[in-house]
Structure 1
Amino acid sequence: MCVEYTDLNRACPKDSYPLPSIDRLVDGASGHALLSFLDAYSGYNQIMMYPPNEVHTSFITDPANYCYRVMPFGLKNAGATYQRLMDKAFHQQIGRNLEVYVDVMVVKTTSATDHTNLAEVFAQIRRHNMRLNPEKCVFGVQGGKFLGFMITSRGIEANPEKCKAIIQMQSPQTVKEVQRLAGRLVSLSRFIPSLAEKVGPILTLLRKPKDFQWTDQCEEAFRNFKTFLTTPPILQRPDHKTDLLLYLAITENAISAVIVQEHQKVQMLVYFISRVLQDAEKRYQMIEKLALALVTAARRL
């Protein structure tokens, strides 16, 4: 049953319960021997409504009027409510052997022969009478898709479907197509070094949409992205017992940074960061741009 809750959502105060950082969850779930991906069966509908508020979810059908006894889809605070209850139900597991983003769960195991962590999560699921959807659950695999990324025992990999979507794109002919390309590149930004600088010629088209002209510079940048995304780098999960090394790069139009960690005297990539400078920022002194790059990178850590 699909119900329009626009008026109800407008009348309800916003629940500002924070959702966890996707980058933190992806980092925490990667680099493990085995992973198990769990999906709740109509997760929102497993949460009971507060009885006095059931009447507010009423809807009309031909035979009668009905209301929900469980939390329906479509309420603006449903996601925050679900995340709060998941954090409460699995507070002893989250971060240690489980990562949760609303109704997406991944159990991580350090040993390929030990399923103690999975058994612990199952026990907690039974304790709270949760039901899983077996058709969407995968157990004991070495990698899989999680929040738009590929996480494996090797580290964090770019989603091949996102890379393929860019590689198979034709050269943009309209502003909307450029916007679509920019959005796809941003979703892969942590894998692309100096993205803001490299995408500069393409972003220029968005500043003056009436004067759209796909130049040779745009085509060269576009082809370079395609070539790079055929073999994107594999990023390592940060080891909190080892120092992080930060390299900064400054150009006239952008600032960039890369975070690495040394492992057996080899520097392993952890994260790429970059952004375009605003007009006022372009007039900064070099030392000010370096400070801005440092602050920008620190905010992403």
Structure 2
Amino acid sequence: MPGIDPNFLCHKISVFREVKPVTQRKRMMGEERKKAVEAEASKLLEAGFIREIQHTTWLDNVVMVKKANGKWRMCTDYTDLNKACPKDAYPLSNIDRLVDGTADHTFLTFLDAYSGYNQIRMHPRDEDKTAFVMEFANYCYQVMPFGLKNVETTYQRLMDKIFGNQIGKNMKVYVDDMVVKSADTLSHVVDLDEVFHALRKHQMRLNPDKCVFGVSGSKFLGFMLSSRGIEANPDKCQAIIDMRSPSNLKEVQKLADRLTALSHFLPYECESSFQIFKERLGTPPVLAKLTPGREVILYLAVSGEAISAGMIQEHDGQQQPVYFIS
């Protein structure tokens, strides 16, 4: 099985001593999911990523997630195991600094590892902790699977060890996102040669379908990078444009999450509007109950970007708001 030499780095699972292993009860699965699980497990067995296990400590269920292209992704529910594991405090780089340090370069190459997590071996003594239940047998991973706690930090640790001479000079890496940056063509060729030498040395394989070489700009960590600088990711912008106005808590949270990803690009006017909004919330108006049969006054406010209305009724000679909409 090709991949990173386990003597160089492998993934270890630490479990709190007082925690007892959990064996999940086998969950029922529909026929379509069963067939997808069997097909995926056959591929993993053939690749040497998993092996059959008879005596288990921890045992978890398989979860099938349908991808955007209609195909299935096989995951494992490591919820119980992850709760029992302490957090690996290995530092991850600051995304803003990585993006700032990559922009304004003439030549960029974006690299993607082929099943990067699976190129890292599990430590032999921890393989049994990754066990999962199938229809007629139990299996465990011999390589680092998705879904385990601390796999991101293990991967970042690997990147820092492999590209220690390039990171900070001609390369930026955040977990499995890699970019090589250069000022001119000749420098870029030299920089790529250094990177490929490191990859060959440690037998790390790339996915050619997802690598982009010698371009002036592309997506990196949720941003668009180019020689012009840092731009908002158009996909994230379009996702907000296509949203309907939020009408419940879940939709408001969804909007907030998407706006957070674009917070760097929101102009000062947005902050000013937010402060005004908070001031208004400090002294909100008291709405009067609509009195049937009494005259209703409707105030309209229209601009090039918005329209709003206020419904008013008079009580004892004073106008009182009944309802606002915008």
Tell whether the structures are fold-level matches, with TM greater than 0.5: yes
1:127 paired to 2:206: no
1:188 paired to 2:188: no
Code of the residue aligned with 1:21 in structure 2: it is: N
Aligned residue number for residue 88 of structure 1: 161
1:105 paired to 2:178: yes
In the alignment of these two chains, the number of paired residues is: 217
Aligned residue number for residue 123 of structure 2: 50
Deviates more, 1:115-124 or 1:181-190: 181-190
Matches within 5 A, 1:123-202: 123-194=197-268, 195-200=270-275
Code of the residue aligned with 1:163 in structure 2: it is: C
Contact 1:37–1:137, Cα closer than 8 Å, also in 2: yes
Q: 1:13 to 1:142 in 2, by over 3 A?
A: same
1:76 paired to 2:149: yes
Work out the CA distance in 1 between the residues paired with 2:184 and 2:216: 11
Q: 1:56 to 1:220 in 2, by over 3 A?
A: farther
Work out the CA distance in 2 between the residues paired with 1:175 and 1:221: 28
Code of the residue aligned with 1:136 in structure 2: it is: K
Matches within 5 A, 1:240-255: none
Superposed CA deviations along residues 193-251 of structure 1, whole A, max 9, x for unmatched, are: 324323346678999xxx9xxx999x97976xxxxxxxxxxxxxxxxxxxxxxxxxxxx
Code of the residue aligned with 1:80 in structure 2: it is: T
1:24 to 87, 97, 110: 97
**Normalization by structure 2: what TM-score?**
0.60
Aligned residue number for residue 23 of structure 2: none
Q: Secondary structure at the match of 1:132?
A: coil
Aligned residue number for residue 85 of structure 2: 12
- Per the TM alignment, residue 185 of structure 1 is displaced from its structure 2 partner at its CA by 2.6
Contact 1:175–1:206, Cα closer than 8 Å, also in 2: no
- Per the TM alignment, residue 173 of structure 1 is displaced from its structure 2 partner at its CA by 4.1
Q: Secondary structure at the match of 2:76?
A: coil
Contact 1:178–1:206, Cα closer than 8 Å, also in 2: no
Code of the residue aligned with 1:31 in structure 2: it is: D
Q: 1:177 to 1:52 in 2, by over 3 A?
A: closer
Q: 1:179 to 1:59 in 2, by over 3 A?
A: closer
The share of aligned pairs that are identical, in percent, is 59
- Per the TM alignment, residue 9 of structure 1 is displaced from its structure 2 partner at its CA by 1.0
Work out the CA distance in 2 between the residues paired with 1:84 and 1:56: 22
Q: Secondary structure at the match of 1:181?
A: helix
Work out the CA distance in 1 between the residues paired with 2:250 and 2:201: 49
Work out the CA distance in 1 between the residues paired with 2:82 and 2:245: 41
Q: 1:168 to 1:199 in 2, by over 3 A?
A: farther
2:134 to 36, 61, 69: 61
Work out the CA distance in 2 between the residues paired with 1:75 and 1:65: 18
Code of the residue aligned with 2:205 in structure 1: it is: R
Code of the residue aligned with 1:59 in structure 2: it is: F
- Per the TM alignment, residue 188 of structure 1 is displaced from its structure 2 partner at its CA by 1.6
- Unaligned runs of at least 5 residues, structure 1: 224-301
Q: Secondary structure at the match of 1:88?
A: helix
Q: 1:13 to 1:33 in 2, by over 3 A?
A: same
Q: 1:72 to 1:49 in 2, by over 3 A?
A: same
Work out the CA distance in 1 between the residues paired with 2:280 and 2:208: 47
Deviates more, 1:76-85 or 1:52-61: 52-61
Q: 1:205 to 1:79 in 2, by over 3 A?
A: farther
Q: 1:221 to 1:118 in 2, by over 3 A?
A: farther
Code of the residue aligned with 2:126 in structure 1: it is: N
Work out the CA distance in 2 between the residues paired with 1:173 and 1:204: 23
Contact 1:31–1:155, Cα closer than 8 Å, also in 2: yes
Larger Cα Rg: Structure 1 or Structure 2?
2
**Normalization by structure 1: what TM-score?**
0.64
Code of the residue aligned with 2:214 in structure 1: it is: G
Bigger proportion of residues as helix: 1
RMSD: 3.0
Q: Secondary structure at the match of 1:199?
A: helix
Contact 1:46–1:130, Cα closer than 8 Å, also in 2: yes
Code of the residue aligned with 1:139 in structure 2: it is: F
Code of the residue aligned with 1:127 in structure 2: it is: K
- Per the TM alignment, residue 177 of structure 1 is displaced from its structure 2 partner at its CA by 3.8
Code of the residue aligned with 2:123 in structure 1: it is: Y
